[in-house]
Structure 1
Amino acid sequence: MAGFIVKAVLFVIGVVLLQRLLRLAIIMGVHRHMFNHTPGPCHIVPGIDVGSEDITTLSNGIAFITSGVALTEAHINSIQGRIYIFDFNKPDDAVKEVKITGSSFNKTAMKPLGTSAWEDPNTGKVTVFVVNKQLHPRTPSVELFDYDHNSKTLHHRKTVIDDNIFAPNDVIATSADTFYATNDLRLDRFRLLEVALTLPTGTVAYYDGSKAEQVASGFAVANGINRSPDGRFIYVSGLLDGEISVYERNVNDPRGSLEFRKKIYMHTSVDNINVDSKGDLWLGCHYLPYKLDVMTGDRWVGTTQVLWVRFDAELNPEIREVLADDGTLLKGSSVASVYGQKMLVGTVGNQMMMCDLLASCELERRPDLHYLLLCVYLSSQPSPVTRIRGGVVTWPDTVQLCHCKTSVDRNTFTMAGTLGKATLVLMLVVCVRYTVKLATMLGVHRHVFNHTPGPCRLVPGIEFGSEDITVTSKGIAFISSGLKYTPAEWEMEDEIKTRIFTFDFNYPDRNVSEVNIRGESFDKEGANYVGLSILEDEATGKVTLYATNRGKKRSSIELFEYKQDTNTLMHVETVTSDNIYSPNDVVAVGERRFYVTNDFKFRSFLEVFSPIPTGTVAYYDGEKARIVATGFTMANGINQSPDGKYVYVAGAFDSQVNIFERKESGHLMFFKKIDMHTVVDNIEVERATGALWLGCHFQPYRLFMGDETDRNKGPSQVLKMSLDEELNADVREVLIDDGELLRGSSVACPYGQQMLVGTIKNKMLHCQLKAY
């Protein structure tokens, strides 16, 4: 009996440890992918090389920056702690080191971390608070300085050491003598274990001018802290919780008591918090914290992410991603501070960056590791996860994406013997593996941080989709609308009419115009347009539009000649072939010559979830069509490089862009695949640069939620992919929206500093391209 109890206890301990380790893996972002974007031009601010861990900015634009924090023994002697100032009113200048005076203060041993400033509303006197994270001797403190603006000097006034301020990380002043401070961890010699087990030992203490008391607890590494402009709310970041906790402060209580109001799950690790004059939160975050190497070297690495949060009256948050960078521009962001239309981004142990805020902004989320980690980690993750019950894999949020059901009699294993067991186990493993792969592709694990590249507006006149868009060299865009996929939608053809519209980029404030389609033998009413492509004759100016037609009676490629003066498409030819059986997109490569994608073989809904890659590419040479590429799980968008040397094909459910080298015969020679970490729909190619603009579905599972008339509720995402001479890709996220602004993006079409974003069954968006 005793042996059984011991085994049971060990089993429970093992399960708890495994759950904690899986939770840590998820928090550390080993499953995520980052799409880069910036809110405008950015540059590194000279003068800082070993960190700008926290930044606080005065109302006149003077920012205080802490630098040289030592979180490990390796950094004690190699890094000197300093405090710098930066003037937002002179954004091109370097930082300046602040002179520190005070006979009782040892500034050479200072290791500054969090900082805050209090401006006296009556006298204008500035008090600067700095967390001093000394390791030898290990006597952490909060230092108070009076700032002399004329001499750029901090005069040391007071050192606060208290048993309740045992591991300070950040501080927020509430007067010239009082403050709240976060204690990140509790265990001194076992801090690494504390982090590995994500123990909620972090606290918040309040110092009333004479002593400190604990006022909040339960954080897995309590990190940044700040307050609303009116002092009513206190915001605390739990770094390993991935959360912002909101507390209401009793301003009349001299003990600084806090009443918990709300937690906001941020889907990232939030470091420091700054609050602007409007009350909006600016968060320095670690989106891939596993890359934040704080254990070796004197230059820490990692990724950079800045989020913006605005609360309404009920404390419901609107969250947008302002900046995301994989470490190319800046490594290991810890804080963001804003003044006017400028933003400083600080780092744990690296440099500091200044950015212009030209666009409202965001990023992504995608595990490359098997999502089975989330299946095991059920209890402590607030985002949707997989649950396995009785051999059936099911999914949350009212939609069952896939199931792998195994019904086995109790005596089956005994009767089948070892071979039977092995076979059944193998089948189950294959089924689970495919389900995990499908779930990953469908994006059930991803989170959207909204951002746009500039001002955007919905273009009136489009109500039933703008599935594909292509533009002429003179700025006339063609838009296919009214796509019908299901029999139920064909029954609504009086309401959902298939049309082609034009939009003139030269007059961006105007709306779309429906094109007149003429042709005696052409069945206009039975047409169902999907992909579009144009061929322009440089000598004559003739424009020929190629359109994939999944018509009511048959599938075909339709050729039209465009008459701009009357906004008319004259039908020229219908191309049909046994090798053009499920056309999705088309790219014209010459007169009566084109490539076309066949997305599926059988055009069955079940084929969408099948692991069998039945998608193909066909080439029509003016006489007949032949298959020239195979092996796509839903072959979708297709386009070519400006010189016609390469052909790009989107394998939608492969989450890849395939690059082929085009031969004179029309044959396609495979060159490389680029993993996009999202589902790519249509591809447009920018004439001047050759960059690919991709309309994407970041959470494609949401496309299947809802009824037949309003299924396309998924987010919208636009990526821009630039290729160098070796076809290495630089990918930037231009836009992402959770579906409130635009649902189910399928295409992005740029022209100059403008962009149209189309959708499968929703509206169309026009955006100015100011920054991304």
Structure 2
Amino acid sequence: MACGDKTIRSQVFYPPINLITDTTQLIRDTPYIYDINNDKLIPLELKNFPPEEDFLLCGMGIYEDEKNEPNKLYVFFTNHKKTGSVIEIFEHILNTNELVHLSTVKNDLIITPNDVVPVSKDEFYVTNDHGHETGFWREFGDITRRPWGNVVFHSSITNTTEIVADSIRYPNGITSNWDNSKIYVGTSAGGELLIYDRKSNNKLHLSESLFTGLSIDNISVDEQTGEIYCAATQKPLAALVYMRDRTGKAPPQPAAIIKVSNNTAEDKFYGIKYSQKIIFEDNGSILPSVSIATADRQRNVMLLGTFRGDGIARCELESLIEIN
């Protein structure tokens, strides 16, 4: 997980919310491993990463090749440097406390990266949540919910970068299923979970658009069941006020977790492929906002994160499912 200074993210510099007040201060976020068994956070040390470079994180994704490299993870971050937003790629050896920097991907098509999902150690999809980095048109797009976002695919193997899905209302979180044949995108302004089929040429074909009515942030997939968990805001306007608050006095965002599953009800015969259910709601008393929910079914744990808060929340997964 990536942890940052909430004061910096609310008052100093955080491009994902169009906050750019101080461009001189060096910003260095810290990635952590959360040890579920021992309920312990372990900071990771960056290796081979330039000490003069910013490390301001938003989205992240992990690629693993259990067959060929069983003890290694490749970790991808969206890094909002003052010189421009990029994708950073690191290598992590299991049971160590280090992240070794491998490469930085910078491209004119990656303009407002929010989240990233790798499909190999050299290839990834990334969401651009806005069509403009700063200025009037970015603000205009927010207020009017313009479909100016997109999804970009990059391959370091072929050295190509291209837009593979376009005209999306604030594409936020992105992830994939177990074999990377499907790509899931949550939209904050559209309130939709977009389900794409990934083609052999890495193009995306929209196969399903599931309207939730809530503002979706990040999404995750249960590796055992294939169920999709969407962290969402119940009141988008309140969320906008909260994100833009520079005083720390704005009320927290009412949040929800939506579980999306294969539809087993009778209406599946009428073409309704997926069912959705809210399994968790919070008025802000647990976390000031919820930006991610991820399940560990083996340990019966669901973890909730926030982009601006003092920590993470831990819940019993089965209790959430049984209650709802």
TM-score normalised per structure 1: 0.36
Aligned partners of 1:713 and 1:663: how far apart in 2? 40
Aligned partners of 1:760 and 1:732: how far apart in 2? 24
Q: Contact between 2:129 and 2:149, CA under 8 Å: does it hold in 1?
A: yes
C-alpha displacement at 1:606, in angstroms?
3.1
Q: Contact between 1:483 and 1:760, CA under 8 Å: does it hold in 2?
A: no
C-alpha displacement at 1:532, in angstroms?
0.7
Cα distance change, pair 489–653 in 1 and its aligned pair in 2 (3 A):
farther
- Could you list the structure 1 runs, at least 4 aligned residues long, displaced by more than 6 angstroms after superposition: none
Task: List runs of 5+ in structure 1 lacking aligned partners.
Answer: 1-460, 468-481
C-alpha displacement at 1:633, in angstroms?
1.1
Aligned partners of 2:168 and 2:192: how far apart in 1? 9
Q: Contact between 2:294 and 2:304, CA under 8 Å: does it hold in 1?
A: yes
- 2:191 matches 1:655: yes
Aligned partners of 2:199 and 2:230: how far apart in 1? 25
- 2:260 matches 1:721: yes
Alignment-derived partner of residue 580 in structure 1:
110
- 2:282 matches 1:733: no
Give % identity.
26
Which structure would you say has the larger Rg? 1
Cα distance change, pair 744–771 in 1 and its aligned pair in 2 (3 A):
closer
Residue of 608, 614, 624 corresponding to 2:148: 614
Residue of 747, 756, 763 corresponding to 2:292: 747
Alignment-derived partner of residue 40 in structure 2:
511
Alignment-derived partner of residue 502 in structure 1:
33
Aligned partners of 1:579 and 1:696: how far apart in 2? 27
Q: Which amino acid aligns with 2:21?
A: A
Aligned partners of 1:498 and 1:530: how far apart in 2? 10
Listed as ranges, the matches of 1:103-502 within 5 Å are 464=6, 485=17, 486-488=19-21, 497-502=28-33
Alignment-derived partner of residue 305 in structure 2:
758
Q: Contact between 1:639 and 1:648, CA under 8 Å: does it hold in 2?
A: yes
C-alpha displacement at 1:595, in angstroms?
0.5
The C-alpha deviation readout for 1:638-674, integer Å capped at 9, x for no partner, is: 1111122211111210000111110011000111200
Superposition RMSD in Å: 2.5
Alignment-derived partner of residue 548 in structure 1:
78
Aligned partners of 2:113 and 2:4: how far apart in 1? 23
C-alpha displacement at 1:712, in angstroms?
7.3
Aligned partners of 2:313 and 2:228: how far apart in 1? 19
Aligned partners of 1:685 and 1:499: how far apart in 2? 24
Q: Contact between 1:705 and 1:713, CA under 8 Å: does it hold in 2?
A: no
The C-alpha deviation readout for 1:280-338, integer Å capped at 9, x for no partner, is: xxxxxxxxxxxxxxxxxxxxxxxxxxxxxxxxxxxxxxxxxxxxxxxxxxxxxxxxxxx
Aligned partners of 1:698 and 1:464: how far apart in 2? 22
- 2:92 matches 1:562: yes
Cα distance change, pair 570–657 in 1 and its aligned pair in 2 (3 A):
same
- 2:215 matches 1:679: yes
Q: Contact between 2:117 and 2:126, CA under 8 Å: does it hold in 1?
A: yes
Aligned partners of 1:573 and 1:666: how far apart in 2? 21
The C-alpha deviation readout for 1:188-211, integer Å capped at 9, x for no partner, is: xxxxxxxxxxxxxxxxxxxxxxxx
Aligned partners of 1:671 and 1:647: how far apart in 2? 10
Q: Which amino acid aligns with 1:600?
A: H
- The alignment covers a number of residue pairs equal to 292
The C-alpha deviation readout for 1:139-187, integer Å capped at 9, x for no partner, is: xxxxxxxxxxxxxxxxxxxxxxxxxxxxxxxxxxxxxxxxxxxxxxxxx
Cα distance change, pair 729–555 in 1 and its aligned pair in 2 (3 A):
same
Give the secondary-structure state (helix, strand or coil) at the position aligned to 2:179.
Answer: coil
Q: Which amino acid aligns with 2:293?
A: A
Aligned partners of 1:522 and 1:593: how far apart in 2? 26
C-alpha displacement at 1:497, in angstroms?
4.9
Aligned partners of 1:697 and 1:676: how far apart in 2? 11
Q: Contact between 1:748 and 1:757, CA under 8 Å: does it hold in 2?
A: yes
Residue of 670, 676, 691 corresponding to 2:227: 691
Aligned partners of 1:553 and 1:653: how far apart in 2? 27
- 2:75 matches 1:533: no
Aligned partners of 2:23 and 2:36: how far apart in 1? 32
Task: List runs of 5+ in structure 2 lacking aligned partners.
Answer: 265-270
TM-score normalised per structure 2: 0.83
Q: Contact between 1:577 and 1:624, CA under 8 Å: does it hold in 2?
A: no
Alignment-derived partner of residue 315 in structure 2:
767
Q: Contact between 1:691 and 1:720, CA under 8 Å: does it hold in 2?
A: yes
Aligned partners of 1:592 and 1:712: how far apart in 2? 41
Q: Contact between 2:28 and 2:55, CA under 8 Å: does it hold in 1?
A: no
Alignment-derived partner of residue 639 in structure 1:
175
Aligned partners of 1:674 and 1:506: how far apart in 2? 35
C-alpha displacement at 1:501, in angstroms?
1.6
C-alpha displacement at 1:709, in angstroms?
5.2
Q: Which amino acid aligns with 2:66?
A: E
Aligned partners of 1:729 and 1:490: how far apart in 2? 45
Aligned partners of 2:102 and 2:28: how far apart in 1? 22
